[in-house]
Structure formats: C-alpha cells, structure tokens
Homo-oligomer: A and B are copies of this chain.
Amino acid sequence: MSDHIRIVLVNTTHPGNIGGVARAMKNMGLSDLCLVSPKVFPHRDADARASGATDLLESAMVVDSLDEAIADCELVFGTSARERHIPWPLVDPRELAAIAAPLQGKAKVAILFGREDRGLTNEELQRCHHHVHIPAVDSFSSLNIAAAVQVITYELRMAALAEEPMNKPQWGTNWDIDLAEQRELELMFEHLERTLVKIDFLDPDNPRQLMPRLRRLLQRAVPDKIEVNVLRGILTAVERQLPPAPVKDDDDV
C-alpha cells in the first residue's frame, strides 16, 4: 500500500534497533528498508527484535553512502530532534503523512533517521526537502530510533487508511512534469556551485552559508525535471559567457 516510502537508517549503531525498525515497518505495511553503513549488520539482536519481520532485514538494501540511498527518490525528509542553525521547512509526522501518502505511484519518498547518539549531521539534513520533528517534550526529546520509525509509519498508515481525500500538495499530484530525482538535483547543485565559483560569487575558502541557503530555497520548491534542466541550461549559458580559463604555465604546477 505504501511501497513508495523508503526508510533510510544512517550509521545505526545497535543492530537491535534495526530489528525494531523492521518490525515497526512491517506492522504498518512498509517494506523498503535501506541501511547506510550500519555498524553491525546482520546480527542476532536484529533478528530477535524484528520478531517475525526478518524478511525485511533480508531484503534490506545496505549501501555505503547516503547518496546511494536516496539517488532515485524525488522527496526526502530528514528527522531532526533539535533546532538547526538555518531553519528548514519543518513538518510534524501528521503533516509528513499528508504530503507523502498521496504520492503513492507518483514519487519515491525517503525518510532519513540518524545515529542513536547524535542524529543526522547538518550536511545530511541539508540534503532534505523537509525536516520532520516528532513533538517530544523539550527536556527529553530524543526518541529511540525504532520508536520514531513507529510514530512516522503509523501516521503514514493512518493517512493511507483515511477515507476522506487528503489535502493535496501543490506538486507531485496532478503536476504536469515528473519531479526531479535526487541525483539530478545533486548534479544541478554541483553545477551551480562550480559556476558560482567561476563568476567569483562563491569563495571556496570562505563559502559561508551560501550553498545551504540555495539548497534550502530550491529544495523547498521540490523542482520538477524541466525546471532542473532550465536551471542547468542557465548555468551553461553563463559559463559560455566567461573568458577562457588562463592556461597555466608548467611553472605553476
């Protein structure tokens, strides 16, 4: 029912938690589990906590990098327990479900869960279109990772089961163009960064918050494929205007 949802666990330390996640997912009708560099996996503790969901552990995709985990996803949510330096579009689990559930058959959605002790890094969070926060009490806000997956997958299932039509997001459903995949976005951001360096707008030695700000802006809009192509076309047109790079003397090498 919700095969467009991928749960991505980044650098999980305790294999028991991976098992707990698999069980929570299977309870709620999900099956697409991806593990980015788990510390210990497979492991008997994972099997024990999975308690009948070992099929999800066996079919889990294990990859080395977050890039691989989300390359084919059009919409990426990152779980975040705390306020970040740059605020990011933030939803609660119910809002996440209202956005993601109707994308069944239309877009692949990844939901990222970070390390047990310190969550996702800022760089990982900046790869996300939206952040999702489970509204725990401020003084004790860190949920067990399997518990966090349980809450979010529960909301996805409630949304999928709801008979009344959900509020449609403005993109993704009834949109004219397919949404861009994450790898297309990454190539665009790399192209953008290169070009900004060439036009002396971005100083590689002092990048400040420029790329995060541009990522946040563009990802907030969840670009479609044509929009990404247009943006890359503009960057190429800018590059064509630039004077040729000076040929370096051998002495400079």
Residue positions of A touching B, CB distance < 8 A: 20, 23-24, 26-29, 49, 51-53, 83, 86-90, 92-94, 133-137, 140-144, 146-147, 150-151, 154, 157-158, 161, 168-171, 174-176, 196, 199-201, 210, 213-214, 217-218, 220-223, 226-227, 230, 233-234, 237-238, 240-243
Contact = CB atoms under 8 A, between A and B. Distances in A.
What number of copies of this chain does the assembly contain?
2
Given A24-B147, A137-B29, A214 B230 contact: yes
A15 to B, nearest CB: 14
Given A24-B144, A27-B147, A151-B151, A89 B218 contact: no
Nearest to A131: B169
Closest 10 CB pairs of A and B: A87-B169, A221-B221, A201-B237, A220-B221, A147-B150, A27-B136, A199-B237, A29-B137, A217-B227, A26-B140
Contacts of A168: 90, 92, 133
17 contacts: A23-B144, A27-B136, A27-B147, A29-B137, A51-B144, A52-B142, A53-B140, A87-B169, A90-B168, A136-B157, A144-B150, A147-B150, A150-B151, A214-B230, A217-B223, A238-B241, A241-B242
Given A134-B154, A221-B217, A240 B88 contact: no
Nearest to A26: B140
Contact of A143 (B24, B214, B237): B24
Nearest to A226: B213
Contact of A171 (B133, B134, B169, B220): B220
A81 to B, nearest CB: 10
A29 B170 CA distance: 30
Contacts of A137: 26-29
A135 B234 CA distance: 38
B200 A237 contact: yes
Nearest to A200: B237
Contacts of A51: 144
